Structure 1
C-alpha cells in the first residue's frame, strides 16, 4: 500500500491508533523523486533524506498471517494440514501445494473483503518485504 502521512502530528496519531494514513494505491514498483530534504519514516525508523530518487519494488513474496477464528479460517488450516500430508506422501509436489493454497487464500480473502467493507475486519501491513534503492542527485 502507498500511503500519505500529513506530518509529525498525524504520524503520532497513527502510532497511537487514533487515525489512519491516507491510502493512495497499491503498486509493485514505485519511483519517488525527492527534490529537497524531507523527513522519512519506514517501519518505525525515522531519518532525514536529502534530495534523491528512490525506487521501491517488491523484494519477495510473503504469506501474511491473520486471525482465523471463523469456520472458513479453520477450514483453511485443515486444508493446509491436508496439503502438507499430501506433499510428504509425494501425492503432490511443492509447486502444486503452493498454487492450491494461493487460490484458497484468494477465495477466502474475496469473501473477507466483503466483510471488511462492512467494517468487521481490520488489517495492517508492513513494508518490510520491499526493496529500497536510493540514489542522490549529483
Structure 2
C-alpha cells in the first residue's frame, strides 16, 4: 500500500472489510498475513485508559490559570490585588 503511518478511513459502530486476497495486517503491534475473509470490527464497551497522575494534571491546570490571570491583569479585566487574591485561593484549593 505504501503508507508510512495509519490513515483514518471510517468511523462507525460496526465496520466490515472484505479481503479478496491475502493482506498484511497489524493490530496492537502483532503483524500477520490475513487470508481472504470478511473482517468485522465492532465496539464491545468502554476501555480503561492510562492518564497522568493528578499532581501533574493539577500543576498543568495551575499554570493555565496563572496565564489566564496574567492576561486578565494585562488587559485590565482585574487588578493586581484581585489577581493575588485569586491565585492565593486557587493555591489553597489545589494543595
Give TM-score, length-normalised by structure 1.
0.35
Ranked by relative contact order (alpha carbons within 8 Å, sequence separation 6 or more), the top structure is 1
Whichever of the two has the greater Rg, that structure is 2
